[in-house]
Amino acid sequence: MAHDDPHNPDHADGKHHDHPHPDVPAQHKARAPGYARVYVITCSDTRTAVTDDGGRILKSRLADQGHAIAGSAIVPDDPARIGQELQRALESQAQVVLITGGTGITSRDSTFEAVSAAIARPLPGFGELFRTLSFQEIGSAAMLSRAVAGVTREGLIVFAMPGSPAAVRLACDRLILPELGHLLEELGR
């Protein structure tokens, strides 16, 4: 079948369409909930409430868009502590968890392992797109990021990103916030 066949009703205007029903993503977003209950976790051995710029940026961006903060915590970069916070997020009725920090490759960076163990349905596109966008900003060092996302067995959407303010803004503004309602709508189907 020729993609530009003007006789094909799917291509009546003679233009190529990437999706057979180009309005479907818009329809899904239109049905999406207006806000999410989000739990914010900072994984760091050194950050405090005063120095947690990544966590502060996330909470500010979420509030600006009308999302509810279900809770937040700063925990050491330790898989057991991260697992405990994911459980607290569930208990607080959160739908989404945003984690900053611990996604590098040092011996103390264990967020990737903790989050990967909790994920039942991975969203590999998040890490792939984050590293692509990050590469445009910082070059080949982007490959050191182990940003990861997915859905836990309990239905919690989890995103883990680096802790630097630039990385948090990138992940939040370009990837997470534009799709948050859509993700919740998809999970509710």
pTM: 0.83
Question: Under a CB-based contact definition with an 8 Å cutoff, are residues 36 and 187 in contact?
Answer: no
Per-residue pLDDT of 125-148, as tens digits, reads: 999 999 999 999 999 999 999 999
Q: Do residues 175 and 98 touch, judged by C-beta distance below 8 A?
A: no
Give the least confident one: 13-17, 40-44, 97-101, 169-173. Answer: 13-17
The CA distance from 27 to 39, in Å, is 27
pLDDT tens, 50-65? Answer: 999 999 999 999 999 9
Q: pLDDT tens digits for 145-184?
A: 999 999 999 999 999 999 999 999 999 999 999 999 999 9
> What integer pLDDT is reported at residue 6 of this predicted model?
42
- What average pLDDT score do residues 7-12 get? 42
Query: CB within 8 A of 98, min separation 6: which ones?
Result: 38, 39, 40, 41, 58, 62, 159, 161, 172, 176
Rounded-to-integer distance, Cα 9 and Cα 11, Å = 5
Nearest to residue 37, comparing CAs of 146, 157, 182? 157
**Is pLDDT at 110 greater than 60 in this prediction?**
yes
Secondary-structure class of domain 34-187 per CATH = alpha beta
Q: What mean pLDDT comes out for the span 92-103?
A: 96
Which DSSP string corresponds to 74-103? EE-S-HHHHHHHHHHHHHTT-SEEEEES--
The rounded distance, in Å, linking the Cα atoms of 136 and 131 is 9
